[in-house]
Structure 1
Amino acid sequence: MGELVRKRVRVEGIVQGVGFRPFVYSLATGLGLAGHVGNDVHGVFVEVEGPASGIRRFLRMLREQAPPLAVVARISVADVAAVAETGFRVVDSDSTGSRAALVSSDTATCADCLGEITDPEDRRSAYPFTNCTHCGPRFTIVRDVPYDRPNTTMAGFALCARCEAEYRDPANRRFHAQPVCCPDCGPRLRLTDSGGVALQGDPLIEAVAVLARGEVLGVKGLGGYHLAVDATNSDAAATLRKRKHREDKPFAVMVASVEQARSLCAIDDAEQAALTSRRRPIVLLNRLPDAPVAPSVAPGNHQLGLMLPYTPLHHLLLRRFPRPIVLTSGNVSDEPIAYLDDDALARLGDIADAFLVHDRPIHVRTDDSVVRVVGGRTMPVRRSRGYVPEPVTLPWPFPQPVLACGAELKNTFGVAKGEHVFVSHHIGDLENYETLRSFTAGIEHFRRLFDVEPRVVAHDLHPEYLSTKYAAEVDGAELVGVQHHHAHIASCLADNGESGPVLGVAFDGTGYGGDGSIWGGEFLVADLTGFRRQGHLEPVPLPGGTTAIKQPWRTAVAYLAECGNLSPDLDVLQRNANWAEVAALSRWGRHAPPASSAGRLFDAVAAILGVRDLINYEGQAAIELEQLADTTEAGEYPVSISGGPVLRVRGSDLVRSVVADLRAATPLPVIAARFHNGLAAAVVDVCGRMRDSTGIGTVALSGGVFQNLVLLQRVTMLLDRNGFRTLLHSQVPPNDGGISLGQAAVAGALCRARR
């Protein structure tokens, strides 16, 4: 056998809660090697002993054959003295030291577990909490690391003899699976009325009956409560919408299978891959004209947000209920999702007719993730369950631990150390008190989970953002203010593992500008350490300030005044009788702050075309304008670009052309398309001028407006034709949900620059 060799091996990455120790055990014993494996606060530690040839095979296979959920970031190996050990063991975890272990995200039910719950002969038949090392709850049940059962919300469920045997059996896929359980020892399902009183009968069968009667069912999921109704029942969907105070915003729909999804939407290979991935996000898909879904599920929307079942409970429910179901966040409009049982009953009792609940506690509330597919790549719209807390790994280390507090709307925060930025789950809009509490509690949890004591706190420049005010109260840390649109571009850079410089196009609704004014249609020359504003949309007043955001017709009036088209015969003015007062208001700076906002330009055009005068959720007018556009139309409206060294793009030129075509009775879809195409051409024109003056040929696109696929695809096509290299988002959203990553990246770069 040759001389014995012993190696000490350290494996870092997502290697806890994913079956890595059982994998190492099986690998070592299969090769006839001795030693041990265990978890600690850094990841997985191994000592392995045997012939040199066996050790070499072991180290090669350690990376090449890692379990499906594992992400091996680094393997380090050191020589140690051989001790002629026999046998290989899984040893107790070591919880001492500074935490550096990564935590796995919650993962959809694997094929093996699905086979068990659908097998009438299996002891886990129809058991809604079946899981193994390849699937199940992770982040939402983890209280601390190392990832061991006592550090999860499964601590209160003592293993029965049979589950204990599986847990200890190296040949079983539940070997050291921390949430392992069965009907004898695990969580239990029950159905209650709206007041929490348990109802008689089989909970699943009775829950299906609730849906079949057209009633609203509350469902406790992985990261919180959902509200469910029959998605084909117009009255049921309308009732849910009324009780939830959600007037127009689309509901997500869960379907039992890809086949059922194809009966509702057109789905390509990349979209199917996103739907069926272990992350199981909501995927935004183009709706089929005859899709059997109630109009009130997604009123006026050509798309549906579909997802597949991701827990055994979902699978069991949809196997008994033959139709797609609405599965929307368990909250009243603008509140965070309910996740604590008593709170859910209190907040949702007037919405749900019954609750399908269980007794496994949820430690962290986590909404469903939302994605759309762009050019074959997945772009997050909301990054949460299934993705968090897996880090964004950067090519450079952070010299000091960083806390990034994010934006005010669509908030996420981030903590960073080493090479990792742990971007949080979706928090929401901080103007809501419960959301603010979720923000502060989430930061404390992440700081503890990843052992981050921030030395630098990054924040937005807006002095009234609650995230900014929170940053100012963190003791003993250096504050780094990051301009909003610089953070957008830095986020795109970090998303792509680059440091710049790039030509950054940051289009969104509003953000606090470097000069104290409202920005939102920005062309920057930027890297991670700084930026220069090279161009912007020409500012236009927002009559009534934030009121104009909720009433797009006000911005339409401002744009019509700007381009000299305030004619009383226009429909938008006839629909809004006090337009003249608003026009006068737009001339008063105090009550009509100027804004270079791309989002408000979309709002104005939407109102002029009669798409939407008032909005019920953020971005509604722009979303409906995008869906109106005829994507076969190649025409575009001209836009003048003036100024220097800071270029000014006249959005009012687009509005002038919109009005002219409207008067000429041009079809609205054609006008909407020409508007999108004209703005896209202007973006590329500005980028060309910036390239001429800087020599930079890479463009980063970020900001919520670039969730608009018509604009995004047109811009990227034109950039490609003109020889540019384009960076897009794929790990975090382009909207404000990605701001925290950008803030962290900027803070880290500034620290490195000082050193």
Structure 2
Amino acid sequence: MTGSAAGAVTGEAPGGDDEHGTTGGWVRIRVEGLVQGVGYRPFVCGLAGAHGIAGCVGNDPEGVFIEARGEPASLRAFVAALKRQAPPLAVVERVTVAPGELTFAGPGGETAGFWIADSRPAGQRQTLVPPDTAPCAACLAEMADPADRRHGYAFTNCTDCGPRYTIVTDLPYDRRNTTMAAFAMCGACAREYRDPTDRRFHAQPLCCPECGPSLRLLGPDGAPCPGDPVEGAARLLKQGRIVAVKGVGGYHLAVLADDEDAVAELRRRKNRQDKAFAVMASDVPAARRLVVLSAAAERVLTGVRRPIVLLPRRAGAPVADAVAPGNRDLGVMLPYSPLHHLLAARLARPFVLTSGNRSDEPIAHRDEDALERLSGIADAFLVHDRPIHARADDSVVRIFRERELPVRRSRGYAPAPLRVPAPFPRQVLACGAELKNTFCLGRGEQAFLSPHIGDLEDYRTLRSFTDTVDHLCRLLGIRPEVVAHDLHPEYMSTKYALDREDLEPIGVQHHHAHIASCLADNGHTGPVLGVALDGLGFGADGTLWGGEILLADLAGFQRVGHLEPVPMPGGAAAVREPWRMAVAYLDAAYGDTPPDIPFVRRHAERWAAVAGMARGGVNAPLTSSAGRLFDAVAAILGVRDRVSYEGQAAIELEQRVAGDERGAYPAAVTTDQPVVTVAGADLVRCVVRDLGTGVGSGRIAARFHNGLARALVTAVLALRERTGVRTAALSGGVFQNTVLLERMVTGLEEGGMRVLVHSRVPPGDGGISLGQAVVAAARTAMEG
């Protein structure tokens, strides 16, 4: 076998075992974890030279193998450093050592020195796939240096940064198994690749302007535009045009963020009426001009993952109102690819960068598809010829108590593994929910959450789901034996699971999966008192749940509390039209004599019909949903009668909250029954009372949030006295509302509870597949 020579180190080692299992002869070392595509083999070469170790290192489907010889003390130090001093992007899960012999000779057949051996294609696939990461400081410095051969080059990368998951086609992680395979390295790049002292030693996406991918600017018809592509794209953006930009994990649509007409036109063409757009700022000072940036937010914003961070917008920020209508927060990100850095530098102004798709479709990532789907939206295309193998939309986070609160986990995070509190007895595929879908693969002590897929009601998104399941299973070498799914029979994810006749199905109740997801996120097995607040989920009693308190562990749950159910007039229509839920709640609160408020007068012509539907139970299923309660209050306050995206009314109600208001509406908490209930209609009566006396909507919104939190805390503390369980877990999409989350956590902690919240996966449906996976594992373990 041949490889890259990495210097000559000799030395005979006497026999004898040591604490690491090393011997005086040759030893075989196995390193498992996120150790391919992160500069681990070059790191091992340098470490071997420092410790006087002879041998080789290479990739195989299980991770990294090392064959080493040295003095016992040197071997001990070498093995200890393999984990302790690993490269910044590496995650070393396990290092094992056993006696062995050299099987990979050096390039000239020698056994002295240390070299990188050719990859071994055979074996059980256990290695991990690294996520994509932002350019490192060294690469950015080269791009900015006019004397450097990579000056202004849009694909600069090294072992410490650059594309990974989105370009990997197979493992082991070698250039031939990436979309860089078609680009033959020039002589200068080849020398860097072979030089163990160079930071590009065995960097698989290595390239330069002479041998790597190149940029083009295309018109809407796909015809090339003359001149510098980045300069041309910047010029078009300054003229108010829309430019599709091919990024790391897919295409994005860009306009200048301060151009009101351009942003409005993007909304019209994309058919995205109200949902906020994300904004890219060139650097931290530019971000500070847009948002209030805490130390924790800055750490996340500038980290290697580079998510969109939702932060309070500064008064007077140079951003068009149409970027985030009705929203006091702004989603901000920093450049996460060399191309973004070049474009941001040319513009010197913040610009919108939103997913390259029409509303509800998956992000476009293949060139032909992007040109077809985005041709009616974009005025030009800034493209390149490095294929994107796996799409990955941008990740989104909020900051809660100085920690990340994920909203969408995708680029930069997926598919890095999550360690779970109990191992998977059998390999699992968990298919997730219908909206904000992700799926989860489980093996050993690791769960692999897919990148954000989207809403499976769209056919393109469903195809993306099935394709990504196949891709990740093959990439990770996972062959599921069990498939976990939601109980809702009409979810496309459920139908897919039940169509997999090769797998044993395990149904998991929606809100149990939410709480189990929070448990897994925190390395906890339960039991807990889990508060699951969301829009809707198929309940065990045939009703639609969404405001639940569950006594739960990973294996099972008992429903011990919930919001009092109300009818949902019109069924699914009530999700799109929150005014229907307002009618239902006002009818529950006031009966035949609705209050004389603007909302009732506005809907007078339809009142009797919708109220009658609610009372008669015709197309009006009962729901305990907290999300629908938020909808009702938002409609009563005139915030939103209809929504253009899921959760819009609740999000805009949160935005109205007056931060200095500490008043809280009272709500009855019934604790003398087997199941504790919270009267949401009481909160609605208080809203109506204050509205009638002229209290502002900001104070009403705050008192509603405070009152709901106080009632739920009261319910949980009462259940603690019954059950003796002193740990609470908060999950469900409503807990992306940081106002409610803060009130709940504070109240429970003041009551003496330990509180678990999300920090690694979203509390909403984007994290539910992790919960399904660990529930399936727990049930499988119980069955023996």
> Aligning the two structures, in what range does the TM-score lie when normalised by the shorter sequence?
over 0.9
- Distance in 2 (CA, whole Å) between partners of 1:686 and 1:18 is 48
Shift of residue 183, structure 1, vs aligned partner: 0.7
Tell whether 2:297 aligns with 1:297.
Answer: no
| Contact residue 536 and residue 648 of structure 1 kept, 8 A | yes
CA deviations over 1:550-572 (Å, ceiling 9, x no partner): 11111000000000065363211
Tell whether 2:666 aligns with 1:638.
Answer: yes
TM-score normalised by structure 2 residue count = 0.95
Q: Which residue of 1 aligns with 2:213?
A: 187
| Contact residue 554 and residue 579 of structure 1 kept, 8 A | no
Alignment coverage as a number of residue pairs: 755
| Contact residue 49 and residue 85 of structure 1 kept, 8 A | no
Q: Which residue of 2 aligns with 1:384?
A: 410
- Distance in 2 (CA, whole Å) between partners of 1:449 and 1:119 is 38
Shift of residue 703, structure 1, vs aligned partner: 0.2
The one-letter code of the counterpart of 1:726 is: V
Tell whether 2:347 aligns with 1:318.
Answer: no
- Distance in 2 (CA, whole Å) between partners of 1:261 and 1:209 is 22
Q: What does 1:309-348 align with in structure 2 at a 5 Å threshold?
A: 309-348=335-374
Q: Report the 3-state secondary structure (helix = DSSP H, G, I; strand = E; otherwise coil) of the residue aligned with 1:586.
A: helix
Q: Which residue of 2 aligns with 1:575?
A: 602
Tell whether 2:69 aligns with 1:49.
Answer: yes
Q: Report the 3-state secondary structure (helix = DSSP H, G, I; strand = E; otherwise coil) of the residue aligned with 2:364.
A: coil
Shift of residue 475, structure 1, vs aligned partner: 2.8
The one of 491, 500, 506 aligned to 2:526: 500
Q: Which residue of 1 aligns with 2:269?
A: 243
CA deviations over 1:656-713 (Å, ceiling 9, x no partner): 1110111111121111111101100111111111101110000000000001111000
Q: Report the 3-state secondary structure (helix = DSSP H, G, I; strand = E; otherwise coil) of the residue aligned with 1:622.
A: helix
Q: Report the 3-state secondary structure (helix = DSSP H, G, I; strand = E; otherwise coil) of the residue aligned with 2:495.
A: helix
Shift of residue 579, structure 1, vs aligned partner: 2.1
Q: Which residue of 2 aligns with 1:709?
A: 738
| Contact residue 421 and residue 525 of structure 2 kept, 8 A | no
The one-letter code of the counterpart of 1:48 is: A
Shift of residue 590, structure 1, vs aligned partner: 3.0
TM-score normalised by structure 1 residue count = 0.99
- Distance in 2 (CA, whole Å) between partners of 1:271 and 1:311 is 20
- Distance in 2 (CA, whole Å) between partners of 1:151 and 1:433 is 29
The one of 180, 183, 188 aligned to 1:157: 183
- Distance in 1 (CA, whole Å) between partners of 2:436 and 2:351 is 26
The one of 593, 615, 620 aligned to 2:648: 620
Shift of residue 477, structure 1, vs aligned partner: 1.4
Tell whether 2:740 aligns with 1:737.
Answer: no
| Contact residue 106 and residue 136 of structure 1 kept, 8 A | yes
The one-letter code of the counterpart of 1:652 is: A
Taking only aligned residues, the RMSD between alpha carbons, in angstroms, comes to 1.2
Q: Which residue of 2 aligns with 1:529?
A: 555
- Distance in 2 (CA, whole Å) between partners of 1:475 and 1:603 is 40
- Distance in 2 (CA, whole Å) between partners of 1:69 and 1:192 is 35
The one-letter code of the counterpart of 1:567 is: P
The one-letter code of the counterpart of 2:76 is: R
The one-letter code of the counterpart of 1:24 is: V
Q: What does 1:230-309 align with in structure 2 at a 5 Å threshold?
A: 230-309=256-335
- Distance in 1 (CA, whole Å) between partners of 2:729 and 2:27 is 45
- Distance in 2 (CA, whole Å) between partners of 1:452 and 1:468 is 20
Q: Which residue of 1 aligns with 2:86?
A: 66
Tell whether 2:781 aligns with 1:752.
Answer: yes
- Distance in 2 (CA, whole Å) between partners of 1:434 and 1:490 is 29
- Distance in 2 (CA, whole Å) between partners of 1:31 and 1:616 is 62
The one-letter code of the counterpart of 1:572 is: F
CA deviations over 1:600-653 (Å, ceiling 9, x no partner): 000000111111111111111111111111121111111112252111111000
The one of 97, 102, 118 aligned to 1:77: 97
| Residue 560 to residue 39, structure 1, CA distance change in 2 (3 Å) | same
The one of 690, 698, 703 aligned to 1:669: 698
The one-letter code of the counterpart of 2:620 is: A
Q: Report the 3-state secondary structure (helix = DSSP H, G, I; strand = E; otherwise coil) of the residue aligned with 1:291.
A: coil
| Contact residue 422 and residue 525 of structure 2 kept, 8 A | no
Of 581-590 and 91-100, more deviation after overlay is shown by 581-590
Shift of residue 5, structure 1, vs aligned partner: 4.0
Q: Which residue of 2 aligns with 1:112?
A: 138
Of 569-578 and 320-329, more deviation after overlay is shown by 569-578
- Distance in 1 (CA, whole Å) between partners of 2:368 and 2:102 is 57
| Contact residue 432 and residue 440 of structure 2 kept, 8 A | yes
Q: Which residue of 2 aligns with 1:206?
A: 232
Q: Which residue of 2 aligns with 1:14?
A: 34
- Distance in 2 (CA, whole Å) between partners of 1:289 and 1:621 is 23
CA deviations over 1:478-510 (Å, ceiling 9, x no partner): 110000000000000011111100000000000
Q: Which residue of 2 aligns with 1:517?
A: 543
- Distance in 1 (CA, whole Å) between partners of 2:527 and 2:427 is 24
Q: What does 1:664-703 align with in structure 2 at a 5 Å threshold?
A: 664-703=693-732
Shift of residue 7, structure 1, vs aligned partner: 2.4
CA deviations over 1:18-52 (Å, ceiling 9, x no partner): 00000000110122210110001011111111111
The one of 101, 111, 122 aligned to 1:96: 122
Q: Which residue of 2 aligns with 1:429?
A: 455
- Distance in 2 (CA, whole Å) between partners of 1:674 and 1:725 is 25
Of 554-563 and 62-71, more deviation after overlay is shown by 62-71
Identity of aligned residues (%): 60
Shift of residue 78, structure 1, vs aligned partner: 1.5
| Contact residue 539 and residue 596 of structure 1 kept, 8 A | yes
| Contact residue 553 and residue 614 of structure 1 kept, 8 A | yes
The one-letter code of the counterpart of 1:124 is: R
The one-letter code of the counterpart of 2:504 is: E
Shift of residue 393, structure 1, vs aligned partner: 1.0
Shift of residue 79, structure 1, vs aligned partner: 2.7
Q: Report the 3-state secondary structure (helix = DSSP H, G, I; strand = E; otherwise coil) of the residue aligned with 1:602.
A: helix
The one of 104, 107, 113 aligned to 1:87: 113
Shift of residue 450, structure 1, vs aligned partner: 1.1
CA deviations over 1:326-384 (Å, ceiling 9, x no partner): 00000111111111111111110011000000011111111000000100110110000
CA deviations over 1:517-546 (Å, ceiling 9, x no partner): 100000000000000000110111111001
Of 629-638 and 218-227, more deviation after overlay is shown by 629-638
The one of 601, 607, 632 aligned to 1:604: 632
CA deviations over 1:129-151 (Å, ceiling 9, x no partner): 11111011000011111011111
> 5+ residue gaps in structure 2?
1-10, 15-23, 104-109
Q: Report the 3-state secondary structure (helix = DSSP H, G, I; strand = E; otherwise coil) of the residue aligned with 1:360.
A: coil
Of 527-536 and 74-83, more deviation after overlay is shown by 74-83
Q: Which residue of 2 aligns with 1:139?
A: 165
- Distance in 2 (CA, whole Å) between partners of 1:588 and 1:194 is 54
Q: Which residue of 1 aligns with 2:566?
A: 540
Q: Which residue of 1 aligns with 2:247?
A: 221
Q: What does 1:118-133 align with in structure 2 at a 5 Å threshold?
A: 118-133=144-159
Shift of residue 395, structure 1, vs aligned partner: 3.4
The one-letter code of the counterpart of 1:19 is: G
The one-letter code of the counterpart of 1:33 is: I
| Contact residue 520 and residue 774 of structure 2 kept, 8 A | yes
The one-letter code of the counterpart of 1:712 is: L
Q: Which residue of 1 aligns with 2:683?
A: 654
Q: Report the 3-state secondary structure (helix = DSSP H, G, I; strand = E; otherwise coil) of the residue aligned with 2:330.
A: strand
Shift of residue 12, structure 1, vs aligned partner: 0.7
The one of 419, 425, 435 aligned to 1:393: 419
| Residue 426 to residue 85, structure 1, CA distance change in 2 (3 Å) | same
- Distance in 1 (CA, whole Å) between partners of 2:364 and 2:223 is 18
Shift of residue 81, structure 1, vs aligned partner: 5.7
| Contact residue 55 and residue 102 of structure 2 kept, 8 A | no
